[in-house]
Amino acid sequence: MKFSNCLNAYKETGISYLGGVNISAKIKKNQKVNGQMTYILYLAPAMQSGYNVCPNSTPECRLGCLATSGRAAMDLISGHDVIKNSRIAKTKLFFEHNEYFMQWLFASIKLKKTMAIRKGFEFSVRLNGTSDINWTEHKLNGQTVFQAFPEVQFYDYTKNPTKFYDKPENYHLTFSYSGINTETCKKILAKGFNIAVVFNVKNEKQLPETFLGYPVINGDLTDYRVADSKGCVIGLKWKKIADKTNNEAIKNSVFVVQV
């Protein structure tokens, strides 16, 4: 396979798009709240594609993954699996034809960045929408995506604490609480970084004022974590997943903090 442009990539792979702007309800809030048009990439989580994109995941977060909520949940309920199959195809492309994937990714980011600037918005990128890949390990022509776009703000959630060491200056990270990584969370917070915690609440008014001794802020107002104050707990409301049985099990597991 030889990449030429984004249009031909769609024709060659059958994948309609690699990543996109404003393709989820929460990402849309970035534009309204922060003036950001955010490009986000959704891959098949954990081992769903046969390749592990979430090496630090836990059984609870795999079952409660947001890959089965929102539009993806509606797709699963309808029995079509279009979104799921598309994400699996993208993930396989990443592992089996990495250079082609990276060429497409770089070209796609460049196109969306140009569009955002033309419309008068800031531009940012979240590469791990439903994955936890270490993007500093993947290069195209000797450059990581962070080096290729030094003027672009990248951000992600992660359960991999090693990503916080020697991370690129234009890469903002928020560590994710799993229920079994409390000590790591404390160390991350002590260094001035933030952690994200899922709470079993229906609205932001029910979020606790503090967690682990740090202030809790509403993380559902926007997905643009770069704008958050340092040394905070990002409180996220529990979102239902398509599987009703697993929904109740995960909601009452260590992954979700009961208030």
pLDDT at 210: 98
Distance separating alpha carbons of residues 173 and 196, to the nearest angstrom: 10
Burial of residue 139 (CB within 10 Å: 0-12, 13-18, 19+) is: middle
User: Residue with structure tokens 């107002």?
Assistant: 221
Percent of the chain with pLDDT strictly greater than 70: 94
* CB neighbour burial string for 197-227, b if at least 16 within 10 angstroms, e if fewer: bbbebeebeebeeebeebebeebeebbbbbe
Instruction: Quick: pLDDT tens for 90-110.
Output: 999 999 999 999 999 999 999
Instruction: Quick: pLDDT tens for 118-153.
Output: 999 999 999 999 999 999 999 999 999 999 999 999
CB 206 within 8 A of CB 14: no
Is 67 domain-assigned? yes
pLDDT at 75: 47
pLDDT at 172: 98
Give pairs for 177-186: CB < 8 Å, separation 24+: 177/257, 178/58, 178/60, 178/61, 178/254, 178/255, 179/58, 179/60, 179/253, 179/254, 179/255, 179/256, 179/257, 180/58, 180/254, 182/212, 185/212, 186/212
Region 1-12 average pLDDT: 94
Is 259 domain-assigned? no
Is 1 domain-assigned? no
Is 145 domain-assigned? yes
* For residue 72, pLDDT beyond 80: no
Total domains in the fold of the chain: 1
* For residue 10, pLDDT beyond 50: yes
User: Which H or E element spans position 149?
Assistant: none
Domain that holds residue 220: 6-254
Instruction: Quick: pLDDT tens for 186-245.
Output: 999 999 999 999 999 999 999 999 999 999 999 999 999 999 999 999 999 998 887 777
* For residue 83, pLDDT beyond 60: yes
* CB neighbour burial string for 17-52, b if at least 16 within 10 angstroms, e if fewer: ebbbbebbebbbbbbeebebbbbbbbbbbbebbebb
**Max Cα distance, the chain (Å):** 53
Query: 38: closest CA among 18, 53, 54, 19?
Result: 19
19 confidence band (pLDDT: 50, 70, 90): very high
* For residue 78, pLDDT beyond 60: no
Average pLDDT, the chain: 92
Coil, strand or helix at 158:
strand
Is 14 domain-assigned? yes
β-pair partners for 198: 236, 256
pLDDT at 20: 96
* For residue 160, pLDDT beyond 50: yes
Instruction: Quick: pLDDT tens for 21-63.
Output: 999 999 999 999 999 999 999 999 999 999 999 999 988 888 7
Sign of CA dihedral 145, 100, 48, 51: negative
Burial of residue 258 (CB within 10 Å: 0-12, 13-18, 19+) is: exposed
pLDDT at 247: 85
What single letter denotes the amino acid at residue 7?
L
